[in-house]
């Protein structure tokens, strides 16, 4: 199925399901609250203030007390550069927190979908997109902590699906698309890295894919299908560079009256960062399509939806400010 296909109406009490999501204010958790659900389903997102995943006892308590049918772990430490200076915090959340969630799910007999990242790879693959079984070799503290989290999930929860994704963006939170639109208003020229390749992925598309996976996992007889578990890749269809993504963002914004700053392609060496990024982050998503029948839209299609929404919100805010 395409991830934007509508769910059929199902009103039976037997179809009621609760998905518990660790993470509340992040891009994926926010998108999960906003996405369409099968009839009778509900999503509950819990942030750190309610349940910190570094607290094993608190995690176990909420998994049990919520009565969740499935858990999605979208909570993560994602400050890639800052992690180089505080790796212990990244590991506390991304490895130990993931382990707490996985153990609690296993104890409660609840399946788990865990979100991971392209940063578990070193980006040195040439001529092909990374497959799930390719060797991992993270280059950054963040990537190492997420790889450790994957291993913790595999060790603790037999019924798990790890979903690696890449270059997440959306109308909420901190991400490249929103940063470009902000910087484009403040600077006449921007130098953008043009030798790192990846697949931009809309948080909204991830949310729809996760719900589609949850539906397959929870609906009998698929609930006993072991092929539904393991490691999968999901990202926007197609690939580009950060420069290519920036150019597309401003091209789309220009249709709403936004300006086009001067864009200058630069190399990774011209923009040093504390954390090393993989040069090739492109993921092969064929396994998810084969097992679940899920494919993502072309990345440009989803990007347009996001930029249109952000520009509409900015226009409305400007009108409100003028009227005040």
Active-site amino acid positions? 142
Please state the φ and ψ torsions of residue 48, each to the nearest 5 degrees. -60, -35
**Alpha-carbon distances of 88 from 82, 94, 112, 155, 233, rounded to whole Å:** 11, 10, 25, 21, 27
**3-state DSSP of the chain:** CECCCCCCCCCCHHHCEEEEEECCCCHHHHHHHHCCCCCCEEEEEECCCCCCCCCHHHHHHHHHHHCCCEEEECCCCCCCCHHHCCHHHHHHHHHHHHHHHHHHHHHHCCCEEEEEEHHHCCCCCCCCCECCCCCCCCCCHHHHHHHHHHHHHHHHCCCEEEEEECCEECCCCCCHHHHHHHHHHHCCEEEEECCCEECCEEHHHHHHHHHHHHHHHHCCCHHHCHHHCEEEECCCECCEEHHHHHHHHHHHHHCCCCCCCEEEEECHHHCCCCCCCCCECCECCHHHHHHHCCECCEHHHHHHHHHHHHHHHHHHHHHHHHHC
Give the span between the Cα atoms of 111 and 102, in whole angstroms.
9
Give the span between the Cα atoms of 246 and 248, in whole angstroms.
5
Tracing tokens 């750190």 back to the chain, one arrives at: 48
What are the structure tokens assigned to 111, written together?
A: 């399946």
What are the structure tokens assigned to 187, written together?
A: 């600077």
């Amino acid at each position: 199925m395409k991830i934007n296909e509508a769910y059929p109406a199902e009103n039976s009490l037997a179809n009621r399901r609760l998905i518990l999501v660790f993470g509340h204010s992040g891009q994926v958790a926010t998108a999960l609250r906003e996405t369409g659900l099968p009839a009778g389903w509900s999503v509950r997102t819990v942030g750190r203030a309610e349940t910190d995943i570094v607290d094993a006892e608190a995690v176990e308590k909420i998994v049990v007390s919520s009565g969740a049918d499935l858990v999605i772990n979208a909570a993560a430490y994602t400050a890639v550069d800052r992690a180089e200076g505080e790796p212990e915090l990244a590991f506390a959340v991304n490895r130990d927190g993931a382990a707490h969630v996985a153990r609690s799910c296993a104890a409660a007999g609840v399946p788990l979908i865990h979100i991971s990242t392209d940063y578990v790879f070193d980006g040195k693959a040439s001529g092909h997109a990374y497959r799930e079984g390719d060797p991992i070799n993270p280059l950054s503290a963040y990537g190492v902590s997420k790889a450790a989290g994957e291993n913790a999930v595999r060790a603790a929860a037999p019924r798990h699906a790890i979903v690696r994704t890449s270059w997440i963006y959306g109308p909420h939170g901190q991400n490249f698309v929103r940063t470009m639109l902000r910087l484009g208003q403040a600077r006449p020229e921007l130098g953008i890295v043009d030798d790192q390749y990846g697949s931009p992925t809309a948080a909204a598309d991830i949310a729809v894919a996760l719900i589609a996976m949850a539906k397959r996992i929870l609906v009998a007889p698929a609930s006993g299908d072991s092929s539904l578990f393991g490691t999968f890749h999901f990202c926007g269809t197609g690939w580009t560079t950060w420069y290519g993504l920036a150019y597309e963002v401003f091209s789309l914004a220009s249709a709403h009256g936004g300006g086009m700053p001067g864009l200058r392609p630069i190399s990774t060496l011209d923009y040093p960062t504390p954390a090393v990024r993989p040069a090739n982050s492109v993921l092969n998503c064929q396994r998810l399509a084969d097992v679940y029948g899920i494919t993502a839209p072309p990345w440009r299609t989803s990007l347009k939806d996001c930029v249109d929404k952000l520009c509409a919100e900015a226009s409305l805010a400007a009108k409100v400010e003028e009227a005040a």
